[in-house]
């Protein structure tokens, strides 16, 4: 691209020889031509009207199907983030090239995710992709991206994403880290936590719940029930009756939105007095509170991102709220940070080539700005594509909003004990 830009400047200088008026001296022409050649040689500012080619960024999100509530919010955040980069001058190392977001609806379906990821890559010249947030979908998308050698950044939490991958990058907390945070948070409400773990039987549910079971003893937590269920069920009563019989004083539900709504309502309907930590997934998005209302107050969860974590997050949250009427939730907020990570990589790569962008992402090390907008405030990828500084933040529903309450270094509000 730089070569093309230089040539255009030089060509204009040489072509001027044909339009010089007879009054112009040879000396003036040589001065102008020399200036143009120098501009081409040293990468001067492009000519007026010249525009750098846009840089295509793929966006894989379910905007229809069972996961659409989160997917639609992610698309809104993706558009906002691209606008932020473009309004700030685009990718300056590429002549101010703008990000061109190409959105694909993966329809909350693994089969569609595979075909759409392949279509997105083969039909467009992409520099990078972000998506999908749901681990079951992202595992499929990352397989396709790996084969095509296109870098993919994701807010998905499954630890499987970092096994045997070279083009997949996970800037935020892993499922195993979520488990440890939940277990430690249980000690905030009881000296002797007895936890019932219920989880949906997908990649997200099984990886997170296994992390809970493996780490419980080391954290001084007793798991008294470990129960899978079929995602998308319509009656939570049998499951909650098992929780009630277990003698648990805390409930961990590893679930997406619709299942979690049903679980919380059923807990309240049967009068079960148990502290609830809804983990991540559906628990940390505005639609959860919309559906259960004040039943959410005081409930805890964990997230890889929250809108109160720093001044940059709060600033983006204000703009997102203007556009959508809702706060910037975990997956959407993390997506804004991912977009700026891609922009940072493009600047350092000085090229839209996906291999060069991948290499620049792998060497990313930021501790300021929107790209570092995550718990701990720093992103640096290890050889496996994990952010070595990534960790979750514990959150609690307080007055219809999510407040960061754990750990102490990320706390923005005191925990309310209900």
For residue range 244-279, list pLDDT tens digits in order.
999 999 999 988 788 999 999 999 999 999 999 998
H helices of 149-279, where? Answer: 175-186, 203-215, 237-246, 257-269
Q: Contact 16/40 with Cβ under 8 angstroms?
A: no
Among residues 383, 287, 352, 356, which one has the least CA distance to residue 58? 352
Average pLDDT over residues 356-376: 97
Closest CA to 394 of 377, 374, 378, 408: 408
Q: Which of 25-29, 115-119, 276-280, 319-323 has the lowest mean pLDDT?
A: 25-29
pLDDT digits (tens, 9 = 90+) for 180-197: 999 999 999 899 999 999
pLDDT at 210: 87
Contact yes or no for 168/200 (Cβ under 8 A):
no
How would residue 45 be classed by pLDDT, with cut points 50, 70 and 90? Answer: very low
- Which residue did the predictor score with more confidence, 232 or 102? 102
The lowest-confidence range among 201-210, 247-256, 386-395 is 201-210
> How wide is the angle at C-alpha 361 spanned by C-alphas 172 and 321, nearest 5°?
50
- Residue 41 reports pLDDT greater than 70: no
Angle at 47 between CA 41 and CA 48, to 5 degrees: 165
pTM, entire model: 0.82
Instruction: Taking residues 49-56, report their average pLDDT.
Output: 81
pLDDT in tens, 67-114: 898 999 999 999 999 999 999 999 999 999 999 999 999 999 999 999
Length of the chain: 418
Confidence of residue 50 (pLDDT cuts 50, 70, 90): low
Q: At residue 15, does pLDDT exceed 80?
A: no
Return the pLDDT at 310: 95
pLDDT higher than threshold 70 for residue 327 = yes
pLDDT at residue number 256? 79
* CA 17 distance to own-chain centroid: 54
Residue 367 pLDDT > 90, yes or no? yes
The alpha-carbon radius of gyration of the chain (Å, integer) is 25
Average pLDDT over the chain, rounded to whole?
88
pLDDT at 6: 33
- 51: tokens are 């525009």
- Helical (H) or strand (E) element with 288: helix 286-292
| 33 band by pLDDT with thresholds 50, 70 and 90 | very low
Pairing verdict, β 55-61 and 99-105: parallel
**Pairing verdict, β 393-398 and 401-406:** antiparallel
């Amino acid at each position: 691209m730089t070569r093309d830009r230089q040539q255009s400047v030089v060509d204009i200088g040489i072509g001027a020889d044909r339009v010089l008026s007879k009054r112009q001296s040879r000396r003036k022409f040589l001065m102008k031509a020399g200036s143009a050649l120098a501009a081409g040689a040293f990468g001067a500012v492009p000519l007026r009207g010249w525009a750098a080619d846009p840089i295509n960024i793929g966006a894989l999100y379910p905007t229809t199907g069972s996961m659409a509530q989160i997917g639609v919010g992610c698309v809104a955040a993706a558009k906002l983030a691209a606008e932020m980069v473009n309004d700030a001058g685009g990718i300056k190392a590429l002549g101010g090239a703008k990000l061109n977001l190409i959105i694909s609806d993966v329809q909350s379906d693994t089969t569609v995710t595979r075909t759409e990821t392949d279509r997105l890559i083969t039909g467009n010249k992409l520099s990078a992709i972000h998506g999908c947030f749901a681990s079951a979908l992202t595992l499929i998308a990352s397989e396709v991206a790996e084969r095509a050698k296109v870098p993919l950044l994701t807010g998905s939490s499954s630890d499987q994403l970092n096994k045997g991958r070279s083009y997949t990058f996970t800037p935020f907390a892993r499922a195993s880290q979520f488990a440890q945070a939940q277990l430690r948070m249980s000690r905030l409400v009881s000296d002797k936590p007895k936890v019932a773990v219920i989880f949906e039987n997908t990649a997200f549910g099984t990886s997170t719940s296994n992390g809970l079971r493996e780490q419980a003893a080391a954290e001084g937590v007793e798991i008294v029930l470990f129960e899978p269920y079929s995602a998308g069920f319509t009656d939570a009563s049998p499951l909650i009756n098992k929780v009630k019989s277990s003698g648990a004083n805390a409930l961990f539900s590893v679930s997406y939105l619709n299942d979690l709504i049903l679980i919380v309502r059923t807990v309240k309907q049967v009068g079960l007095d148990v502290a609830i930590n809804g983990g991540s997934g559906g628990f940390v998005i505005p639609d959860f509170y919309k559906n259960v209302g004040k039943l959410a107050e005081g409930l805890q969860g964990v997230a890889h991102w929250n809108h109160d974590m720093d001044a940059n997050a709060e600033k983006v949250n204000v703009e997102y709220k203007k556009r959508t009427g809702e706060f910037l939730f975990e997956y959407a907020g993390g997506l804004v940070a991912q977009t700026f990570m891609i922009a940072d990589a493009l600047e350092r790569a000085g090229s839209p080539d996906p291999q060069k962008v991948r290499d620049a992402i792998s060497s990313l090390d930021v501790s300021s700005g929107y790209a570092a907008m995550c718990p701990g405030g720093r992103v640096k990828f290890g050889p496996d594509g994990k952010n070595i500084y990534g960790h979750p933040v514990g959150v609690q529903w307080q007055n219809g909003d999510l407040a960061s309450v754990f750990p102490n270094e990320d706390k923005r509000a005191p925990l309310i004990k209900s």
